[in-house]
């Protein structure tokens, strides 16, 4: 036990002096002390398998030795100048990053957060096109800054203050919860069990969603949108996490004009980026654009070390292998438990959608989901939550997780589901 922390004191300070908008969600919030790779340790020395990775930010592992070494080396040399001087780290990082991106995505802007990156992307799209309207998907999260919040389409993140003018939302294709069913991606190892409304093996759901999109276009200024923004899969897909590809957008076979990167880019170090084409970049270069901390040497060496670690530790391949394995194991739980409505995912991003029953697909009440979730924590597995009704367990661990860890996690979830059924039966 790490005696220097008093749990009660930390809780009191948090209640008095830290943003009350921050929710901890667990009944007894975790007080963390240390992390190593896929593991977290609390102040009493309890170990947790981290399946949420700081909301999918810790890509290569907590305190990954390579990243830690890179930052320690840079820490003693130079943290910050400004971008009016050159430092090799920014050039080297920009080159390294763009080598991983398809043409013509070659110009990098470094920012400090995902919201900031999306703000900049919106700004560029508007400048370049000289149009204003931007469309996003319902259920999307694109950030909490007043600009990006207009694109975010999840009620609880809205605050009843006008924001995001010129933003419209369109319907998210959703084979499980959407009105038309449909089939998962052809290469998905797991298919939804929902019976599809399409007939004779022909899926019409796609056409319906395209019609919805056209309808949304008709609500914007005619023929003049500035852009359409989308997470490749809701939510965080980059840096090899989907297994089959390095970037989420590649799973759809498209090359966007602007790509924003955050979360896993720095393995937890605050940094993000926008990458675009020379032509679009030129529209911002007509006048000055500047970001004090974006591209500081510390962030750049971290970013480069993260890319190296992904390659050297074969983390994209690991995401594919362990992710697919886990997905198939979790699908067995879906087949066993009526309340596990859907298990879906790609690589190491997996969603488990909890329902009252598979026919109605009503979200399982929050209190019941919370009990299962809390039980997993008590057995040493941290899982994320998400979905419009907070009905989906999110599994997005550091990409260094092993099959043995996956077995442990599935067993814990299995036990938590069984205990839930026992509680229900005892009522
Ligand atoms: N887009 C997505 C898909 C995200 O998951 C997040 C963060 N949850 C953001 C944007 C905003 O990033 P940040 O919190 O770094 O501003």
Q: Are residues 138 and 285 in the same domain?
A: yes
Which CATH number covers residue 328? 3.90.1150.10
Bigger pLDDT: 322 vs 24: 322
The answer, yes or no, to whether any atom of ligand 1 lies below 6 A from the CB of 157, is no
Determine the Cα–Cα distance for residues 174 and 184; give it in Å rounded to an integer.
9
Lowest mean pLDDT among 149-153, 179-183, 362-366: 179-183
CA-nearest residue for atom 13, ligand 1, is 114
Ligand 1 nearest atom to the CA of residue 272, by list position: 15
**Substitution site in 22, 56, 113, 115 for ligand 1 pocket (most atoms within 8 Å of beta carbon):** 115
ipTM above 0.95, yes or no: yes
Ligand 1 nearest atom to the CA of residue 115, by list position: 16
pLDDT in tens, 294-316: 999 999 999 999 999 999 999 99
Residue 185 pLDDT level (bands cut at 50, 70, 90): low
Lowest mean pLDDT among 81-90, 138-147, 229-238, 375-384: 81-90
Residue 189 pLDDT exceeds 90: no
The answer to whether the beta carbons of residues 252 and 159 sit under 8 Å apart is no
The answer, yes or no, to whether any atom of ligand 1 lies below 6 A from the CB of 231, is yes
Structure confidence at residue 61 (pLDDT) = 98
Q: Are residues 363 and 410 in the same domain?
A: yes
Kindly give the distance from the C-alpha atom of residue 56 to the centroid of ligand 1, in angstroms, as a whole number: 10
**Substitution site in 111, 119, 143 for ligand 1 pocket (most atoms within 8 Å of beta carbon):** 143
Q: What is the mean pLDDT of residues 303-331?
A: 98
Determine the Cα–Cα distance for residues 254 and 352; give it in Å rounded to an integer.
27
Residue 84 pLDDT level (bands cut at 50, 70, 90): confident
The answer to whether the beta carbons of residues 257 and 127 sit under 8 Å apart is no
What tokens does 239 get?
């840096």
Structure confidence at residue 6 (pLDDT) = 87
Determine the Cα–Cα distance for residues 212 and 57; give it in Å rounded to an integer.
33
Residue 195 pLDDT level (bands cut at 50, 70, 90): low
Q: Are residues 269 and 410 in the same domain?
A: no
**Substitution site in 140, 263, 265, 385 for ligand 1 pocket (most atoms within 8 Å of beta carbon):** 263
Structure confidence at residue 24 (pLDDT) = 77
Residue 80 pLDDT level (bands cut at 50, 70, 90): very high
Q: Are residues 55 and 72 in the same domain?
A: no
Q: Are residues 235 and 307 in the same domain?
A: yes
The answer, yes or no, to whether any atom of ligand 1 lies below 6 A from the CB of 124, is no
Structure confidence at residue 82 (pLDDT) = 75
Domain count, the chain: 2
Output b/e per residue, 74-102; b: 16+ Cβ within 10 A. beeeeeeeeeeeebebbeebbeebeeebe
Residue 342 pLDDT exceeds 80: yes
Residue 134 pLDDT exceeds 80: yes
Residue 424 pLDDT exceeds 80: yes
Domain that holds residue 395: 7-60+314-426
Going from the C-alpha of 381 to that of each of 44, 134, 160, 238, the distances in angstroms are: 16, 39, 36, 23
């Amino acid at each position: 036990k790490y005696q220097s922390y008093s749990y009660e004191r930390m809780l009191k300070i948090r209640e008095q002096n830290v943003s009350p908008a921050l929710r901890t969600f667990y009944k007894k919030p975790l007080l963390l002390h240390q992390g190593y790779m896929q593991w977290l340790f609390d102040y009493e020395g309890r170990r947790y398998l981290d399946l949420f990775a700081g909301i999918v930010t810790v890509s290569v592992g907590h305190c990954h030795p390579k990243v830690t070494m890179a930052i320690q080396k840079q820490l003693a040399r130079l943290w910050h100048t400004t971008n009016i001087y050159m430092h090799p780290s920014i050039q080297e990082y920009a080159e390294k990053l763009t080598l991983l991106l398809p043409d013509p995505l070659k110009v990098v802007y470094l920012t400090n957060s995902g919201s900031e990156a999306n703000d900049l992307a919106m700004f560029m799209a508007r400048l370049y096109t000289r149009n204003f309207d931007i469309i996003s998907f319902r259920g999307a999260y694109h950030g909490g800054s007043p600009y990006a919040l207009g694109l975010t389409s999840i009620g609880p993140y809205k605050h009843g203050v006008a924001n995001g003018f010129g933003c419209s939302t369109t319907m998210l294709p959703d084979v499980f919860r959407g009105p038309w069913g449909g089939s998962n991606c052809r290469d998905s190892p797991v298919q939804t069990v929902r019976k599809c409304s399409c007939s004779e093996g022909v899926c019409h759901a796609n056409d319906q969603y395209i019609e919805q999109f056209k309808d949304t276009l008709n609500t914007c200024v005619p023929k003049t949108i500035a852009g359409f923004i989308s997470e490749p899969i809701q939510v965080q897909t980059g840096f090899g996490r989907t297994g089959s590809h390095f970037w989420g957008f590649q799973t759809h076979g498209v090359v966007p004009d602007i790509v924003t990167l955050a979360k896993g880019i720095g393995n937890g170090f605050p940094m993000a980026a926008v990458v675009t084409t020379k032509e679009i970049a030129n529209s911002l270069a007509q006048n000055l654009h500047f970001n004090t901390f974006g591209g500081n040497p510390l962030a750049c060496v971290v970013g480069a070390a993260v890319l190296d670690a992904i390659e050297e530790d074969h983390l994209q391949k690991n995401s594919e292998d362990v992710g697919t394995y886990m997905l198939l194991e979790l699908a067995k739980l879906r087949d066993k438990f009526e309340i596990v409505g859907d298990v879906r995912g790609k690589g190491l991003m997996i969603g488990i959608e909890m329902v009252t029953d598979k026919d109605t697909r009503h979200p399982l009440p929050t209190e019941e989901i919370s009990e299962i979730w809390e039980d997993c924590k008590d057995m040493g597995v941290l899982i994320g939550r998400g979905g419009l009704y907070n009905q989906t367990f999110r599994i997005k661990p550091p990409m260094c997780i092993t099959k043995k860890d996956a077995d442990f996690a599935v067993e814990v979830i299995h036990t938590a589901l069984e205990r839930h059924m026992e509680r229900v039966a005892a009522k």
